[in-house]
Structures are given as C-alpha cells and as structure tokens.
C-alpha cells in the first residue's frame, strides 16, 4: 500500500479520454457557481508570500538551493477528490479537509520540485476522479469546464496582479495537466504570452501530437518555450487505451533523464534522486527510463519498502521518481531562457 502522502494518485487513469462505465451518475455539485475571488490568499494552495507546504525542501537538498525570483511557476495540482463514497462531480472550494489533503500531498511532494522559482498554485473546483470514466460525456465535460473556469480565472488574476512581466513556467500533473493543456492552448499558443514561456512541464496525461499547432515538445535539456511530459509505466506494459491513441496520431513524450525525444534507453545511473515514501529521504538511481510508443517505460523502481511492486501503472510516481532531475532541469531551462533574453534571441 502506498504511503498516505502519495496513495490518492495510485488509481488515477492516465488517459484523457472518458472510458465506458455502466453507472452513469446525475450531476452533483451543491456549491455556488459564482467565480472564485482569487484576490483571497486562502484560494491559493501556494503563493510566494504565503507559508505553505510548497516551500519545503528535502533535507539532503537544502544546501543546494539556487533560488531565482526572476521566474514564476504556475502549478496545477492533480485530482485529490477520489473517494468513491463522495458523490460530488466537483469539489467545493472551501472544503477544508480536501484542501488540507491537497496541501500535504501534491503541493508538498510535487509542487515543491519547482520551488526555486516564485510558485503559484490555485485551488480549484476539481472534477472527481470518476469523471474520467463517465459514460455521460456531457456531464463529464460540465465538471471539467467548471474546474477549468476556476483555473482560467486564477491565471488571469495572476497575470493581472502577480506576474508583472516575469517569465512563466507552467507545471502540472494528471487532472492539472488536463487543464494545463487547455490553458496553454488559450493563453500561449500563437499568442504574445508564448514569448514569456520558459517551458511547460505538463506531466501524467498524453500530449496529443495534433493538439498544438505552434507549441512543440522540448528536444533537449536547454530548449525553452516548449512542452515536456511523460506517463510512467512498468517496462513492457501497454495500457489498453494506447492502441487507440496511436491510431489518432500518438502523443509526445520527453525522457526526464535525458530530456530528449529519442527512444534510446537512459540508465538508472542518470536518475539523480527520487522523493518517495519520506519527503526528507532522497533515493538516487531509483529507476531507468525509455520512451515507447507515447509512454515512458521504466524497470521496477528500486527503493526500500516499494509500494510499486505489484503495479504496472506508475502514474503515482510520474514526478516523484524523477524529482531531482526535474528540479535541476528547471534551473537549467531558466538560465537558458534568461541568457536568450539578454542576448535578444
């Protein structure tokens, strides 16, 4: 069993399409549909001037921090509304228990990988996990639309009040990536804001090759203004929805150990460190990585008390298995972006 800090993501599907489910549910959301006031700090899981779990740094890395206040990260958290007994289609923004769960899991274990920059992570009325499996696609779309409306409003507020012209990194996982792709399409694709995009780490969902016409995947570790993403599975395993994805053109994948698009295997010696069961324990060389037909294949991760032994879908560890590689690559891309900005490229 995964530890409480990561357990909620263990069953998250990694396909953006809605699967068949014999139990259609009526739309259930009892909250107010009014726009969230993102001028209130309680509606942000992370803000640069707010003490929150995203500020945390694993003990082995505390002497290695290189803060950079010249760049912002806008982080969209994954689904934490996962209880099968909860019949809501969308979370309530003021659900204190759910917000605490979000803060102490994904904000601590995932968002913190990006905390050398100024970090912003909005709360939003996330769709329930079951929404990905609904047969009623209109009902599912309504749930996702409500969640995206919050994210859109938060991002617009961020642009209007917090950004002040700084370069931006978009970072996300799972449901957060479902919305991040839409956000990138609306605000960055072919828009002036694309010039401010350092990179988008949109992880845990497919990046369809035909979804973006201008934005492209990052081809190396220093590329900027581009997209980075992967979905992690046990080597040799192909999820049942992969053939359908391939028929539709497939998905982009960037290898988080080499930061390239090639299918050449990257050995576990390139894995600089994972953050898994214990936040303050860095586990180096935990797994290798290679790209295969739109997903990332890794051999079974090596760490004490592994909760992945019986899993083939490592969605739960998409970020955590490559925590230090991500952290260092953010630093590399920021430097690359700022150098290009100075040189006028």
Predicted pLDDT of residue 302: 77
Instruction: Note the pLDDT tens digit of each residue in 283-307.
Output: 999 999 999 999 999 998 876 656 5
Per-residue three-class SS string for 163-179: HCCCCEEEEEECHHHHH
Predicted pLDDT of residue 25: 36
- C-alpha 112/C-alpha 124 separation (Å) is 19
Predicted pLDDT of residue 1: 35
For the chain, the domain total comes to: 1
Predicted pLDDT of residue 64: 87
Predicted pLDDT of residue 27: 46
Which residues of the chain are under the pLDDT cut of 70? Answer: 1-32, 303-309
Predicted pLDDT of residue 309: 63
Predicted pLDDT of residue 66: 85
Predicted pLDDT of residue 2: 42
Q: Which structural domain range is residue 187 located in?
A: 4-343
Token reading at 205: 């969902």
Predicted pLDDT of residue 60: 96
Predicted pLDDT of residue 304: 65
């Amino acid at each position: 069993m995964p530890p409480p800090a990561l357990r909620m993501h263990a069953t998250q599907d990694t396909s953006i399409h809605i699967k068949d489910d014999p139990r259609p549910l009526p739309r259930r959301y009892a909250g107010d549909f009014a726009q969230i006031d993102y001028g209130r700090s309680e509606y942000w899981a992370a803000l640069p001037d707010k003490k929150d779990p995203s500020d945390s740094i694993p003990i082995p890395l505390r002497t290695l921090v290189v803060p950079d206040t010249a760049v912002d990260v806008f982080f969209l958290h994954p689904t934490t509304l996962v209880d099968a007994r909860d019949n809501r289609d969308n979370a309530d923004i003021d659900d204190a228990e759910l917000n605490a769960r979000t803060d102490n899991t994904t904000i601590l274990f995932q968002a913190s990988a990006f905390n050398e920059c100024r970090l912003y992570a909005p709360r939003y009325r996330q769709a329930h996990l079951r929404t990905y499996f609904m047969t009623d696609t209109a009902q599912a779309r309504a749930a996702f639309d409500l969640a995206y409306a919050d994210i859109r409003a938060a991002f617009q507020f961020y642009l209007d009040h917090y950004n002040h012209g700084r370069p931006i990194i978009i970072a996300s996982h799972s449901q957060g990536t479902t919305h991040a792709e839409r956000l990138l399409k609306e605000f960055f694709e072919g828009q002036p804001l694309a010039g401010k995009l350092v990179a988008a780490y949109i992880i845990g969902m497919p990046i369809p090759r035909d979804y973006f016409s201008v934005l492209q995947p990052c081809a190396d570790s220093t590329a900027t203004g581009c997209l980075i993403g992967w979905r992690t599975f046990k080597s040799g395993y192909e999820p049942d929805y992969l053939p359908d994805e391939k028929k539709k053109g497939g998905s982009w994948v960037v290898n988080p150990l080499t930061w390239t698009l090639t299918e050449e295997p990257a050995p576990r010696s390139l894995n600089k460190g994972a953050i898994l069961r214990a936040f303050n324990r860095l586990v180096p060389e935990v797994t290798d990585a290679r790209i295969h037909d739109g997903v990332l294949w890794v051999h079974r991760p090596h760490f004490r008390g592994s909760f992945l032994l019986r899993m083939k879908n490592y969605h739960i560890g998409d970020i955590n298995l490559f925590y230090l590689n991500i952290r260092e690559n953010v630093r590399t891309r920021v430097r690359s972006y700022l150098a290009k900005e100075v040189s006028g490229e």
